[in-house]
């Protein structure tokens, strides 16, 4: 299940470069402008905020409750735009149209800070995202390149803020390595309020100043390739990533608390250990190192772990809080 929206009968996804794993969407011949991306990705529609009514004879509005609605581009038999409810929001929620949210990239593209490569719509239009490549690539170890991107997401169902953040892709297996360095301002979150548009106008300045962030991250990754791990180190690592449940047990008549791992937790640990032992793509580049451990946990997140029935590994990996927390915990543990 890819959760890419179907809008007016078309996959709401556009890309330049390599065909994505789900093999959906419209391929463009070159790097996209924002306007080209919105059109090709079927994201050039408008959202309105409309009052929610009681189903009574007077259709009485419910105070403080509104619905966000995607207006078309599908049309009914009478030629009117079909309305698709996306979410329920409050009084202060301000709609930010896709064109306004992704105008963020126009400045970055003009200043050659980034080149837009991917845009997509999830669900019925609840979430729209785009990724722009930053012209920086580094190799923590020779033959294992990491490409750098800016990811921007916006939601229309009240579930989250407009968010712009750095992320990076390990090319050898296309897994996502979005990490936060201590003290680095590598993320911008903008709530859907009246100040959203003015804040978006300034957001690109934070991300455009990312040279030091990429330099620090490259140094951190390179350092991981130089640090070996013993078998005990690996066992401690997976135990920390997938801890057991604190349980009271009695040993020799003395009650104490121990961590007891469920079958699922044990299977998760074994999965990562298998990836570390050579199952991960690109394992030959820095085997037996902390870099291998980080790649094993990220490959587990991106490809191996189970997700809810109504989502998928790719979507959960990119946007899921649980995946991001696990990824960050692994980075923090390995870099101390």
pLDDT under 70 in the chain at which residues? Answer: 1-2, 20-22, 31, 110-113, 183-185, 208-209, 305-320
Q: pLDDT tens across 38-68, in order?
A: 999 999 999 999 999 887 777 777 888 999 9
- Residue 303 φ/ψ, nearest 5 degrees: -130, -30
Nearest to 121 by CA among 30, 26, 16: 26
Q: Which three-class secondary structure string do you get for 101-170? A: HHCHHHHHHHCCCCEEEEEEEECCCCEEEEEEEEEEEECCCCCCCEEEEEEEEEECCCCCCEEEEEEEEE
Domain limits, the chain? 6-43+97-220, 226-335
CB 304 within 8 A of CB 195: no
* Dist. CA 98–CA 318, nearest whole Å: 19
Write the burial class of residue 172 (CB in 10 Å: 0-12 exposed, 13-18 middle, 19+ buried). middle
* Dist. CA 238–CA 242, nearest whole Å: 6
């Amino acid at each position: 299940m890819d959760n890419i929206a179907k809008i007016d009968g078309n996959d709401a996804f556009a890309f330049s470069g390599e065909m994505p794993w789900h093999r959906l969407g419209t391929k463009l011949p070159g790097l996209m402008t924002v306007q080209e991306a919105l059109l090709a990705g079927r994201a050039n529609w408008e959202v309105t905020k409309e009052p929610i009514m009681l189903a009574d004879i007077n259709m009485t509005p419910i105070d403080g409750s509104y619905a966000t609605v995607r207006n078309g581009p599908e049309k009914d038999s009478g030629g009117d735009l079909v309305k698709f409810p996306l979410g329920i929001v409050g009084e202060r929620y301000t709609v930010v149209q896709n064109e306004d949210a992704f105008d963020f990239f126009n400045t970055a593209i003009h200043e050659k800070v980034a080149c837009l490569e991917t845009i997509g719509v999830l669900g019925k239009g609840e979430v729209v995202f785009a990724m722009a490549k930053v012209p920086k690539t580094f190799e923590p170890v020779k033959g294992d390149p990491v490409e750098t991107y800016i990811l921007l997401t916006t939601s229309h169902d009240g579930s989250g803020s407009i968010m712009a953040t750095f992320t990076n892709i390990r090319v050898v297996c296309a897994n996502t390595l979005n990490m936060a360095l201590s003290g680095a301002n590598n993320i911008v979150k903008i709530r859907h309020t009246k100040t959203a548009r003015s804040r978006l106008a300034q957001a690109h300045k934070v991300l455009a100043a990312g040279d030091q962030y990429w330099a620090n991250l490259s140094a951190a990754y390179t350092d991981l390739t130089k640090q070996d791990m013993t078998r005990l180190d690996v066992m401690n690592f997976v135990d920390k990533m997938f801890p057991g449940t604190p349980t009271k047990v009695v040993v020799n008549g003395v009650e104490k608390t121990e961590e007891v791992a469920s079958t699922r937790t044990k299977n998760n640990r074994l999965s990562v250990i298998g990836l570390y032992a050579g199952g991960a793509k690109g394992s030959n580049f820095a085997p037996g190192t902390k870099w291998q451990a980080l790649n094993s946990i990220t490959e587990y997140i991106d490809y191996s772990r189970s997700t809810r029935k109504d989502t998928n590994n790719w979507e959960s990996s990119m946007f899921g809080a649980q995946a991001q927390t696990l990824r960050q915990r692994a980075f923090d543990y390995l870099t101390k």
